[in-house]
Amino acid sequence: MKVKRRNPAIRIYNHPPVSVTVRSFAKINLGLRIGARRADGFHELLTVYQTIAPHDSIRIQVDRGTGIEIRCVDPRVPRDESNTCYRVVNKAMQYWRAKGRVVVEIEKRLPVQGGLGGASSNAVAALLGLERVLKKSLPAEERLRIAAEVGSDLPLFLVGGTILGVGRGELVYGLEDLPAIACVIVTPGLGVSTAQAFAEWDRQLTVSMPSDRMSELGRGLSAWLSASYSGAPRSGRGRAENPLLELVRAGIKNDFEEVVFPEYPELSEGKSALESAGAKYASLSGSGSALYGLFSSREAARRAVSKLRRQGWAAQATVTLTRREYWKRVLR
Ligand code: C5P
């Protein structure tokens, strides 16, 4: 008797539901320069991303049936096809031509529209969880392609640690794994739209040429990197402090502050509050609204948090996550 075979590429997952929980860490931007607006509407970027310890949790479950369900008690998180987790899961399932009902449960602790990459990180965590549950993995290039299609800030979460971001932010290069540093995150209770911040940047497009702005940060980064990698003799005693503090002292800045601070003066005040609480460097992260400060010790960060909270700021002490720690903690 001839057995009719199903298309082998299509699998139906009719095993009992299996679930995996993945930590979805946040990022900050250690400097961000906005370059020219490209023909596709995106802007050239030059930034250094750094993963940090605060995180959401993403639970992935694959069940019988079809479709993707997003669960989240936070009403600000979309539950439809616009959710970044939905989009990534959909693309991965299509790539594998896999069938099954995927449930993505988001436990939200990171701010929404906070500049900490929460939605992007959630999507990457969903993808990693899905791979785990289905015991499948995408080729690395495919994973990066899907991530970049969904948003410029996703690919960084496939690398973790300290990362150079170029292109529209989606081309990511892992930098040397540097020691963790204490930081304080201030999360004002407001959301900033990245698209609107870029639009405002275009409206106000100021003094210097976009390419000059990029080269300026580029030179600072090159000098910092060459001190790390080149082995070239340098003057003085070499690195006396955490290399991340040396990086921010290289004169880096976040261009978004120029358009976001005038619109939300409270954020500029938050940066000043971090500085007067002892931050060695303070900045807006991405297009905000979160601000961060880097501190010389965990104790200094804790003291700053007490001071900031007394002044009414929502602040938390945390640490940066090296690439090694990031991957150790993502899947638990
Ligand atoms: O890629 P992502 O979805 O994060 O981008 C959100 C919006 O921000 C884009 O639609 C675009 O308007 C703007 N953007 C930009 N240049 C970038 C990244 C984002 O103009 N490099």
pLDDT digits (tens, 9 = 90+) for 266-324: 999 999 999 999 999 999 999 999 999 999 999 999 999 999 999 999 999 999 999 99
Residue 158 has pLDDT above 50, yes or no: yes
Cα 227 to Cα 222: distance, rounded to the nearest angstrom? 8
Residues having CB closer than 6 A to ligand 1 are 41-43, 45, 151-153, 168-169, 194-195, 198
Q: pTM surpassing 0.85?
A: yes
Per the annotation, the verdict on 56 as an active-site residue is: no
Cα 55 to Cα 106: distance, rounded to the nearest angstrom? 11
Residue whose entry in the numeric block shows the structure tokens 């940060």: 217
Residue nearest to atom 15 of ligand 1 (CA): 42
Cα 120 to Cα 153: distance, rounded to the nearest angstrom? 6
Cα 118 to Cα 54: distance, rounded to the nearest angstrom? 10
Where do the H-state alpha helices sit in the chain? Answer: 84-96, 118-134, 140-150, 194-204, 210-229, 243-249, 256-263, 265-276, 298-310, 323-330
**Cα 42 to middle of ligand 1, angstroms:** 6
Rounded average pLDDT over 256-261: 95
**Cα 256 to middle of ligand 1, angstroms:** 13
SS3 310: helix
Which pair of tokens denotes residue 176? Answer: 């040397």
Q: Classify the phi-psi angles of 236: left when phi > 0, otherwise alpha if psi is within -120 to 50, otherwise beta.
A: left
Among the ranges 29-38, 232-241, 263-272, which has the highest mean pLDDT value?
Answer: 263-272
Which pair of tokens denotes residue 15? Answer: 């095993």
